Chain A
């Protein structure tokens, strides 16, 4: 099985638009939405949910009022400012590290498991899909991403599907690292803006760090053709393959508003370019 992950560094460059179109072009694949903070792929692919489950991860300290001597040792050692002067725990601040429990002389502190999110398994017309939603303001998004990818692989093996398409989150932190590890190819989507390029360089460094081969795609390239050329030159110097660029096209927003993959919405300039990118990606995946 081959896994393609679409990432970007900067948010809003078009990851989900591109991945949803790939799903339509692939015909049959397993889809994984690893942007567990703000999942959007289901808004274009409309999976019918077959199963859902709670995701438990991480812990939060709990102080037993009866046993607490109010000695203050826990407050002294907590490096996250999570224990109030009244000796209760502020869950948003608690790291779940248990340093407080180590020092409590009264054994008044226990660590309780958190419900950090929910994950879903469903069926789209392009194949099975796995996605998840982290509860607002929770931690452990990296672990939830790892769970989504694992479940997607299980699904692929069960259904004998050879292609896994993974929609990654923005940034370079733990959920991105969890989305990237061991993927066969990362498509890094950028835009010809100073932020797009700044973030591209950081995310390509991350790909090298985790030894995942990368390919770069410039979206909305005609907003600044000279930066588009600059990206191509940078990638040529770094020996990174670049796909055809995608033009700025207002029908992209309209396709999202209609809730359909761009390549099924029309055959406009952006739609045609996305199809061309798909063929380049497939050629690269097969050659590996």
Chain B
């Protein structure tokens, strides 16, 4: 039990430095200044899996680890959309998840952001045109930014989120 403490103290901080630029498509007309004012120092993120293959989820999960550490920017993952400011949506929106995604968005209090992560979330990705999906996330809920990639790296996702809230230097 105490050996863990010993290891923790010996290993030290392994967090990598913050990303510098982002490859993100910004949509939506919300003013960057307003976003920075409200969410600049604290953003609660709720992840929604709208039918993804889970590759994006693995990358997002890495964000909570010590190497990418999204908490140092004031971002944290929450369980309930009522607590959330930002919905991080992955996956092409399958027919079964369309209603659920919409309800999640409705359950989130204003002001809110939606960031679509991955090519599937942007427009269906490699599943584009399939009978089982509705389309990109933008077809169900209004999207503020899209982080392209299949899957995008954790740094790219982090940079995308930071860019949306105006924290990217």
A-B complex is real: no
Interface residues of B, Cβ cutoff 8 Å to A: none
Interface residues of A, Cβ cutoff 8 Å to B: none
